[in-house]
Structure 1
Amino acid sequence: MYATSTQKRFWTFTAEELEAKRDALNQAYIERHRPFLDSDDQISMFLNSDEEKLFCRIVADTGIKFGKEFKPELPPAVRWTALMYYKRFYLKTTPLEYTPKPVMMTCHFLAAKVDEFIIRTEQFVRNLKNGEPDKNAELILKTEPKLMEYLDFQLTVHSPFRAFEGHLIEMKTRLPLIDFDLEQVRKPAMEFFDMALAGDAMLMYTPTHIALAGLKYGLDKLSKSQDLLNDFLYKFLDLDPWNSREEEKQQVMKLLKKIESVVTVVLEQSASVIPQTVTVLQNKVKSLSAFLKTKLEPKMKAIPEAPTDNGVMSDDSDE
């Protein structure tokens, strides 16, 4: 049950809380390296928290494509779980500390196991277009324990798909006079859920709210009247639209506002990243990677208690 889940208790945040977490992780990473800098001017070589978020987003887009093209086809819930793991992981650490691509691969591998989509390691790595299969398998198996640790071993993820199916059935039952096939809503709704993989909606809203947002998006794409969704929400809340008290009407309006906020967040955060922006960030990541390897790592290795970076950074732009 979502109401008593670790997802609700430990992994649901406001936009402000997410920003604060990412800012704190970014600053902590920079502060660990500050003693080894020649001057504070070199801090500008590090990514800020917004750039780290974009870095993760670029790899998320690659991961979403990987999940779509995976053979055999991954169920939508597995892909949702994988992206949820990925986003949760980077609320505990930064992409400067653990390069995102191996983490993304491992998130899909772990999600398949947790959601009981049985696939052998050898079969899984055949879907990876770069690297040698044996080395990819070794890297995934090496990364998996750290991933689970950073997830606090809380691996159950509640996706919007079951709720969406329930809403669709309920809508067919409670609004029997609808003059079109409600199954037409499914395709645009699934497209909406795919778009939601790119951003923070899964960290901010309940599965039910995301499912209702998918329903609204689907109805909007079919150019159906807003009144249809409003009527359903009254039924959903067991209210009579004709004999409701003012506070009950406000309850429906509050739910509708929440659904609209989900749609807004998903559409805004799934917008394509400008190619020039990607190129600029990739160049900065490469420069930082070279700086860490040639300038900072020798200094850090000379001091036993100094922090060390856990992964070799890359631009992660390829598949």
Structure 2
Amino acid sequence: MALKQRTASPSVAPPATAPAPQPLYSTSSQYRNWRYSKQGLAKIRKDLNEQAVERVRGMVEQERVQQHSAPVASTSTPSASGSEPPSQPTTPPPPSEIQYLTVEDELSLVTYYLTQISLLCGAFKFGEMVQATAMTYLKRFYLRNTCMDYHPKNVMLTCVFLATKTENHPISIDSFSSKTRTTPDDILSLEFLVSQSLRFEYKVHHAHLAASGLLLDMQTTETPLETLETVYTSAKQHLRTSRLTDLELIYTPSQIALATFRLTDPSIVDRWLGIKATRQAAHNAEQRLSAQTEEELEKDKVVDLLVEIGEVIMMAKENPVDKAKVTEVDKRLRWARNPEKDPKSALYKKRKAEEEAEREAKSRAKAAARPANDDESVFD
């Protein structure tokens, strides 16, 4: 008996087309959690600063009261680390005369320590990845914290050490701390706090890696390789400047990388964009716009974006960190930092004494509740 040929039922839908692969960056936590609009970034910093001023003002008043109260009993509190900024003077000005840091003050202080990361990594001969990652960590940390609570010098060192582990450039904590004139505890005591502020998201997608890919792809422009390599070398210098700005918090790595190429040689980038736009227009030929109009609109939009990024980089290059301003801000920070975070303050010692007393009380209560001859209690 002949078998009848089976035909597909018209009600059965054809298999779905596999979704186009997504770029690695667009699926990363960096894309989801660490990109902001300019307005959003400004609001985060403004809110953090205002909350910190209010909180620190209250802590300063509590510190004054504590200093005039009975002496705190001696406790085993951590010593002030070498990376801690100087303790507040014993005779601070009245609270009404303290000049708390503004958002601009905090940004100038953080930017200065970004430059110090570059110098520190150079002294240790750490690679580009360690330097870039540490700088990103520092910027992200101060989207969750303020300089009035944690001095950037302390955090900077921890960010660099953490970046050496993230980027597989191991160095012992003893070696790192000895060369930075600190102690291992100075570095490690902040490591969990930094990690927590980073949301434990250590991977960073950097613009200089995107630039490497662009160098390869731009060979389609038939530009001589020697010319491309010269442009790439200059672009890398612009990329290092870009790390002192907010660009990586607003734009994608590929946008920043392409902008640095355009700062060096606009003609190469324009030619490359033309090729990319033509390819894209070919795929969209059935859409309402003509291929030529589509190409022109897309290219103009990208160029405007690249110009905007390039202006930020050039502004940073032409206006380096003002060391005098940073020094003045740091002096004011001695009076305006949170005494609750200062191991030498009376408030810090009082809080530590209270915590230690609470731990001892819990330990005594737990010991009293144990049955006699309870062998398992050794594992409590």
* TM-score by shorter chain over 0.5: yes
8 Å Cα contact 1:64/1:197 also seen in 2 = no
What is residue 182 of structure 1 aligned with on the other side? 228
| Residue 276 of structure 2 corresponds to residue 236 of structure 1 | yes
- TM-score normalised by length of structure 1: 0.80
- Which amino acid is 1:274 matched to? D
CA distance in 2, matches of 1:26, 1:210: 28
Q: Distance in 2 between matches of 1:213 and 1:16?
A: 22
**Residue in 2 that maps onto 1:17:** 40
Out of 270, 274, 277, the residue aligned to residue 322 of structure 2 is 274
Residue in 2 that maps onto 1:314: none
Q: Residue deviations 1:112-138, cap 9 Å, x none?
A: 11121232223333542xx24xx1x22
How far apart, CA to CA, are the structure 2 residues paired with 1:258 and 1:195?
18
- Aligned position for 1:199: 245
Give the greater-gyration-radius structure (CA).
Answer: 2
Corresponding letter in the other structure for 1:50? E
CA distance in 1, matches of 2:291, 2:97: 59
Decide which of 55, 65, 70 is 1:32's aligned counterpart: 55
1:114–1:155 Cα contact (<8 Å) kept: yes
Contact between 1:213 and 1:260, CA under 8 Å: does it hold in 2?
yes
Q: Which string of whole-angstrom CA distances, capped at 9 and with x for unpartnered residues, describes residues 169-208 of structure 1?
A: 1111x11254853111222111111111211111111010
For the Cα contact (< 8 Å) 1:102–1:140, is it kept in 2?
Answer: yes
Are 1:161 and 2:208 counterparts?
yes
Indicate the SS of the match to 1:45.
Answer: coil
8 A contact 1:234–1:240 mirrored in 2: no
Indicate how the Cα distance of structure 1 residues 282 and 258 shifts in structure 2: closer, same or farther if over 3 A, else same.
same
What is aligned with 1:257?
304
For residues 90 and 200 of structure 1, the distance between their equivalents in structure 2, rounded to whole angstroms, comes to 12
Unmatched 5+ stretches in structure 2: 1-23, 65-92, 283-289, 355-380
The letter for the 2-side match of 1:259 is L
- The total of aligned residue pairs comes to 289
Partner of 2:147: 95
Where does residue 135 of structure 2 map in the other structure? 83
Matched residue, 1:216: 262
> Helix, strand or coil: the match of 2:54?
helix
Q: 1:258–1:52: structure 2 CA closer, same or farther, 3 Å change rule?
A: same
Unaligned residue ranges in structure 1 (runs of 5+): 220-225, 307-319
Contact persistence 2:211–2:257 (CA under 8 A) = yes
Match of 2:361 in 1: none
Q: Deviations over 1:69-91 (max 9, x none)?
A: 32xx2221221111111100000
Do the aligned partners of residues 20 and 186 (structure 1) sit closer, same or farther apart at CA in structure 2, a change above 3 Å counting?
Answer: same
Q: 1:272 to 1:107 in 2, by over 3 A?
A: same
Residues 232 and 290 of structure 1, relative CA distance in 2, 3 Å threshold: closer
Distance 2:223 2:170 in 1: 42
Kindly indicate whether the alpha-carbon contact (under 8 Å) linking 2:255 and 2:306 is maintained by their aligned counterparts in 1: yes
| 1:255 to 1:53, Cα distance in 2 relative to 1, 3 A | same
Deviates further, 247-256 or 27-36: 27-36
Deviates further, 254-263 or 81-90: 254-263
Letter in 2 for 1:159: H
TM-score by length of 2: 0.68
In the alignment, the residues of structure 2 paired with residue 105 and residue 236 of structure 1 have an alpha-carbon distance, to the nearest angstrom, of: 42
Counterpart of 1:108 in structure 2: which amino acid? V
- Report the equivalent of 1:53: 107
Give the Å deviation of 1:245: 2.2
Match for residue 66 of structure 1? 120
Q: Which moved more, 1:245-254 or 1:21-30?
A: 245-254
Question: Could you tell me the percent identity over the aligned residues?
Answer: 25
- TM-aligned CA distance change 1:257 to 1:56, over 3 Å: same
Aligned to 1:310: none
CA contact (8 A) 1:187 1:218 kept: no
Alignment of 1:112-123 (within 5 A): 112-123=164-175
What is the distance in 2 between the residues matched to 1:292 and 1:45? 18
Matched, 1:104 2:150: no
TM-aligned CA deviation for residue 258 of structure 1: 1.2
Change (3 A) 1:13 1:54: same
- Are the aligned partners of 2:117 and 2:131 in contact in 1 as well (CA < 8 Å)? no
Note if contact 2:259-2:309 (Cα within 8 Å) is conserved in structure 1: yes
